[in-house]
Structure 1
Amino acid sequence: MIAAPRELLGAMFSAAVNAAQPSLTIGKYLPPAPKGRTIVIGAGKASAAMAQAFEKHWAGPLEGIVVTRYGYAVPCERIEILEAAHPVPDAAGRAAAERILGAVKGLTRDDLVICLISGGGSSLLPLPGAGVTLEDKQAINRALLASGATITEMNCVRRHLSAIKGGRLAAACYPAQVVNLLISDVPGDHPADIASGPTVGDATTCADALAIVRRYGIELPAGARRLLESGDGETVKPGDRRLENVTTHIIASPQMALEAAAAVARDAGVTPVILGDSIEGEAREVARVMGGIALQVHRHGQPVKPPCVLLSGGETTVTLRGNGRGGRNVEFLLALAIALDGAADVHGVAADTDGVDGAEEVAGAFIGPDTLARAWAHGIRPRDSLDNNDGHGFFGALGDALITGPTLTNVNDFRAILLL
């Protein structure tokens, strides 16, 4: 017998998160012990959990330092854990980036650097390039987050304004061996886009970053504009000799999370359909398309008959037009509920696997056939909430928010539309 819809959707989300836990995956990618020192560095919302997992698997001498989001630290014995702000960077993140660069100075070919990187690392390593201030980076980051730019576009700009991203941290480690262990939160799992690629080569250019800035009408402070226009913000390119000792492994990804959720669905007698692990676009537009697919299944049993679940991952964007509390997953869900218009036996969940949808300490939310009717009963107009980018306010008022607390991993957004 199929479980209650919300219970089943919650179980699928939990399976997706658990599949990306560093404790389950990191042991498969351990390199041989070096002749010299072993130093662990890292950044991201999952980096502290990754450091803890690495410590448990590594028997030899070990030292290191990683930075994670406030509230995401876990205890480690040999690796120092720092905390800083996300998604808008702060001075603690800048200090952490400086300390991480200092930790890899003067290494030799006999030394090993383990670099633990996950989503969120861009904001947690805000070391500005020449002529750029932390305040500049904060303003640019806020503008990018509100612009509707994709994560790939945002990270292109970020790494060209940085003194540590875009392969610069790997260059600082040279000639030591560098092993990157990455948890991907980006569409396509491209290493240069995960935390803006501090320890991998970057094929994009300052000209690309400037084109993105112009595309979204972002005002650059004078120092940032000079850095890009002069080309002095150029990143370390693939093939650079300082990257010759770098090896990269993706230890968890959105696809792994979707496959884990699909297994839960099958066990419950529900047919899973994975629509894609790297779906991008404006959240409300993606919702309209997925709503159309769900209605085709609901009305005609195509391309699959109920009971089934449509699964997807990736990272949508929200262009802020109102003064609501935002959140790309709740914006997607609110637009989906409007598109479905109360269709019977259709339920959904959308949430960020790191437990934070935008800047809110809320992972996402649930919808069901009665979502719109309950909103109207509360005096809430769903379309007005969507126009105001107030998905968090909408679902909070209905008691439908999904709150997990820190999940200690991050493989981006998880979406499931369940049809019974």
Structure 2
Amino acid sequence: MQSQFCISIIRFHESPDMTTLAPRQFLLDLYTSAVAAVSAEKCLPAFLPTPPATGRTLVIGAGKGAAAMAKVVEDHWQGELSGLVVTRYGHGADCRKIEVVEAAHPVPDEAGKQAAARILDMVQGLGKDDLVLCLISGGGSALLALPADGISLEQKQAINKALLKSGAAISEMNCVRKHLSAIKGGRLALACAPARVVTLLISDVPGDEPGIIASGPTLPDATTCAEALAVLRKYDIAIPAEILQHLESGKGETPKPDDARFQGHSHHVIATAQEALEAAAATARAAGITPYILSDGIEGEARDVALVHAALAKQVAKHGQPFQKPCVLISGGETTVTVRGTGRGGRNAEFLLSLAVALDGHADIHAIACDTDGIDGSEDNAGALYAPDSVARAAAKQIRARSLLENNDGYGFFSALDDLVVSGPTRTNVNDFRAILIL
């Protein structure tokens, strides 16, 4: 079933002074609970709309969880339906009536472009009695890639790559994407007229703002071309002449929240990072460890966020402030990585390696950092595990943690220790999950 996934760790390294609580298994249990709580199977059925009395139902969507969401719709829908959703390679599901197309993420490819064009074509000619059910989850921005007229896919790919390396926040990246697209920023909803549109969203953005998730293809957009241009200039990203003209002329402007054409449409955020964190907290309490949820919306450079987490963990361990140990500090959100090196590793591996350097073998502090979609960046792991002896074990292999951090090689560090967390695609996505256990 799409809500099930298996975590494999090549090898566990238990400290010699382990208590009856096995820290690594405990942390893995928290991650498993977090992901299960935001699966489509658990969250989606309660939000399904009533089928139209006379019209047809068309299901469309995009994101890492889109195929799993489509499968749940099929399993619970009373009546006929058809449609197409696009998801990341390897994140598909066995649907019978809804076609599933796989495409590239985080940099869009031709398959995503063609799928987006097909979806836009599908919604043409719908009637007022028809229902469009749009299934959106994180990753949809790259997967639903249909450049605006005059802009090439290659230009969008280049902009995407530059934004990913720049350290730009997801809200900034999606602002740009909306204004370079023929389908995002509410344009898809307008193409569905006069049909009613119901959008169900699994949120992967801090703050859970619906219009930011997957760049809001069916929701109005309050941002502007000028803001998109400002983002590109802020990060000193080369702007092709066609894109510059598109933004400066206002040709790429999106439909705004006061647009009457959105009347009668509705949307529901069905799963969030907060729900995942609360599920993990419940698992911690059941194991006798007091959880503290720090935030569901932490942003910033992964290595800098790690420094704050490390300082807090050490304060708890040494002074019992602001929390008494044993406890576990849980957080979510979406950090970023400004790529300067040539190593491998997503933002969770970067966070955890920076944490390892900052803790420097501090006794009785263990941690996990994983992406809830099961893929950390573009790697094959969800994230990794840290233990008090991680840096020492690495040093014994002639691996210097600080050097690998400077090379953005968190994957290489934890792979060498056999401490990667490998879950495979979870087919949901509420972004980062971090837990720091202090005994």
TM-score, normalised via structure 2 length: 0.95
The amino acid that maps onto 1:200 is L
CA contact (8 A) 2:30 2:281 kept: yes
Match of 1:326 in 2: 345
Name the CA distance, whole Å, in 2 between partners of 1:315 and 1:339: 20
Determine if the alignment matches structure 1 residue 25 to structure 2 residue 43. Answer: yes
Match of 1:116 in 2: 135
Match of 1:151 in 2: 170
CA contact (8 A) 1:254 1:313 kept: yes
Name the CA distance, whole Å, in 2 between partners of 1:214 and 1:42: 31
Match of 2:113 in 1: 94
Question: Cα deviations across residues 369-408 of structure 1 (Å, max 9, x unaligned)?
Answer: 0011011001011110010000011111111111111101
SS at structure 2 position matched to 1:52: helix
Name the CA distance, whole Å, in 2 between partners of 1:2 and 1:134: 55
Determine if the alignment matches structure 1 residue 351 to structure 2 residue 356. Answer: no
Name the CA distance, whole Å, in 2 between partners of 1:96 and 1:83: 9
Determine if the alignment matches structure 1 residue 304 to structure 2 residue 320. Answer: no
Match of 1:257 in 2: 276
SS at structure 2 position matched to 1:192: coil
Determine if the alignment matches structure 1 residue 176 to structure 2 residue 179. Answer: no
Match of 1:399 in 2: 418
Match of 2:213 in 1: 194
CA contact (8 A) 1:354 1:412 kept: yes
Name the CA distance, whole Å, in 1 between partners of 2:377 and 2:433: 14
1:14 to 29, 32, 35: 32
The amino acid that maps onto 1:239 is D
2:57 to 22, 38, 51: 38
Match of 2:333 in 1: 314
Name the CA distance, whole Å, in 2 between partners of 1:146 and 1:268: 40
Match of 2:21 in 1: 3
Q: What is the aligned-residue RMSD (CA, Å)?
A: 0.8
CA contact (8 A) 1:2 1:269 kept: no
Match of 2:305 in 1: 286
Determine if the alignment matches structure 1 residue 51 to structure 2 residue 73. Answer: no
Name the CA distance, whole Å, in 1 between partners of 2:326 and 2:239: 51
Name the CA distance, whole Å, in 2 between partners of 1:141 and 1:408: 23
SS at structure 2 position matched to 1:54: helix
Name the CA distance, whole Å, in 2 between partners of 1:87 and 1:149: 14
Name the CA distance, whole Å, in 1 between partners of 2:59 and 2:389: 50
Report the more deviating stretch, 1-10 or 23-32.
1-10
Name the CA distance, whole Å, in 1 between partners of 2:425 and 2:43: 19
SS at structure 2 position matched to 1:188: coil
Name the CA distance, whole Å, in 2 between partners of 1:353 and 1:406: 9
Match of 1:244 in 2: 263
1:245 CA drift (Å) = 2.1
SS at structure 1 position matched to 2:207: helix
SS at structure 2 position matched to 1:131: coil
Name the CA distance, whole Å, in 1 between partners of 2:326 and 2:111: 49
Report the identity percentage.
63
CA contact (8 A) 1:177 1:246 kept: yes
Name the CA distance, whole Å, in 1 between partners of 2:269 and 2:82: 22
CA contact (8 A) 1:174 1:243 kept: no
Alignment of 1:215-234 (within 5 A): 215-234=234-253
Name the CA distance, whole Å, in 1 between partners of 2:34 and 2:345: 24
Choose between structure 1 and 2: higher helix proportion: 1
Structure 2: tracts of 5 or more residues without a match: 1-18
The amino acid that maps onto 1:408 is R
Structure 1: tracts of 5 or more residues without a match: none
SS at structure 1 position matched to 2:230: helix
1:23 CA drift (Å) = 0.6
Name the CA distance, whole Å, in 1 between partners of 2:421 and 2:255: 40
CA contact (8 A) 2:51 2:78 kept: no
Question: Cα deviations across residues 264-302 of structure 1 (Å, max 9, x unaligned)?
Answer: 000000000000000000001100011000000000111
SS at structure 2 position matched to 1:170: helix
Match of 1:385 in 2: 404
Name the CA distance, whole Å, in 1 between partners of 2:245 and 2:396: 54
SS at structure 2 position matched to 1:231: coil
CA contact (8 A) 2:57 2:133 kept: yes
The amino acid that maps onto 2:73 is F
CA contact (8 A) 1:87 1:359 kept: yes
CA contact (8 A) 1:2 1:268 kept: no
1:2 CA drift (Å) = 5.1
Report the more deviating stretch, 192-201 or 237-246.
237-246
Name the CA distance, whole Å, in 2 between partners of 1:197 and 1:315: 18
1:326 CA drift (Å) = 3.2
The amino acid that maps onto 2:167 is G
Name the CA distance, whole Å, in 2 between partners of 1:256 and 1:216: 33
1:246 CA drift (Å) = 1.4
SS at structure 2 position matched to 1:280: strand
SS at structure 1 position matched to 2:87: strand
Name the CA distance, whole Å, in 1 between partners of 2:352 and 2:74: 39
Q: How many residues align?
A: 420
Name the CA distance, whole Å, in 2 between partners of 1:249 and 1:395: 38
1:3 CA drift (Å) = 2.8
TM-score, normalised via structure 1 length: 0.99
Name the CA distance, whole Å, in 1 between partners of 2:193 and 2:311: 52
